[in-house]
Amino acid sequence: MSNIRRIARGAAATALVALALGLLVSKRHIVLRSVEKNITPRAAFLVEDDFEGGAGDGWHPPDSLVAAQSGAVRVDGLAIHNETMELSTYRMDFEAKVASGGVSWILGAQNSANYHLYKLEKSGQSKQSYRVVHYPVVEGKSVTTQTVSKAISLEPVEEDFHQISVRVSEGRIMTMIDGRSVDHWTPLEWNPGGIGFFGAKGGSSLIRYVVVHSNQDFWGMSLAATLITIHCFEDPSPTLRECLAL
């Protein structure tokens, strides 16, 4: 057999091996992506920020959360947390000090122009009189025809920071303030989306500490570990041992 023929056969064999490896890698990538897509909604999720020194990573735009005092920020505009954009069932807890303009939080954000807005504001002359208001925002405009407003009474709390807890489950939203249920709402339309905060320019309400979590059980934790492993296989930069911190 001539050298040219041997070289040709060698090149052909190398090409076939490369093609087979390429298909294997590609198939593995497709399989991993499919697994990741299917288990992500059920995997454990946790985002928290104590706002020490200002807003942490993940907020967009970050300059909408302005450091006001140790462990608290003033909301100046709209801020959405990027890591929460695909959540559908979760719990959100934070502390808020209500001042002029009230304090608003965002649920189900598709982007900066489409979301559901909740607002806690003072109402009337009594220091204990408040109201919870919520409505959808579509393409940057409030849908006032779907506005819900409910008068509530809140007892004075230490440092005037109220504990607000929001539970979202498949579009059913329950709001608790200082451990007491104050509102239940099922929007006409609901899609998974991000959480955030909103404050009018020049407002003085404060947010102190926020945590968002879901699926904090054994199965959720196990699936979260599986996602970490998938990401390690997909990222060739560190070794697998380094990626998994073994």
Same domain, residue pair 123 and 51: yes
Same domain, residue pair 235 and 194: no
CATH code for the domain of 172: 2.60.120.560
Same domain, residue pair 11 and 72: no
Q: Position of tokens 């579009």?
A: 171
Residue 154 confidence (pLDDT): 93
Same domain, residue pair 196 and 238: no
Same domain, residue pair 138 and 86: yes
Same domain, residue pair 171 and 225: no
pLDDT at 137 over 80: yes
Tens digit of each residue's pLDDT (9 = 90 or more) over 84-116: 998 888 889 999 999 877 899 999 999 999 999
Same domain, residue pair 63 and 182: yes
- For the chain, the domain total comes to 2
Domain that holds residue 50: 45-214
The stretch 230-235 carries a mean pLDDT of 56
Tens digit of each residue's pLDDT (9 = 90 or more) over 193-216: 999 999 887 778 899 989 888 765
Whether the CB-CB separation of 36 and 194 falls below 8 Å is answered with no
Same domain, residue pair 210 and 227: no
Residue 71 confidence (pLDDT): 81
Residue 97's closest CA among 64, 136, 71, 62? 71
The stretch 171-191 carries a mean pLDDT of 90
pLDDT at 190 over 50: yes
For the question of whether the overall pTM of this predicted structure is more than 0.75, the answer is no
Same domain, residue pair 73 and 162: yes
Out of 35-39, 115-119, 236-240, give the one with best mean pLDDT: 115-119
Q: What percent of the chain has pLDDT over 70?
A: 69
For the record, the structure tokens of 37 come out as: 């897509």
Residue 114 confidence (pLDDT): 96
Residue 30 confidence (pLDDT): 57
Same domain, residue pair 185 and 232: no
Q: How far apart are CA 88 and CA 22, in angstroms?
A: 36
Q: How far apart are CA 41 and CA 170, in angstroms?
A: 12
Same domain, residue pair 83 and 57: yes
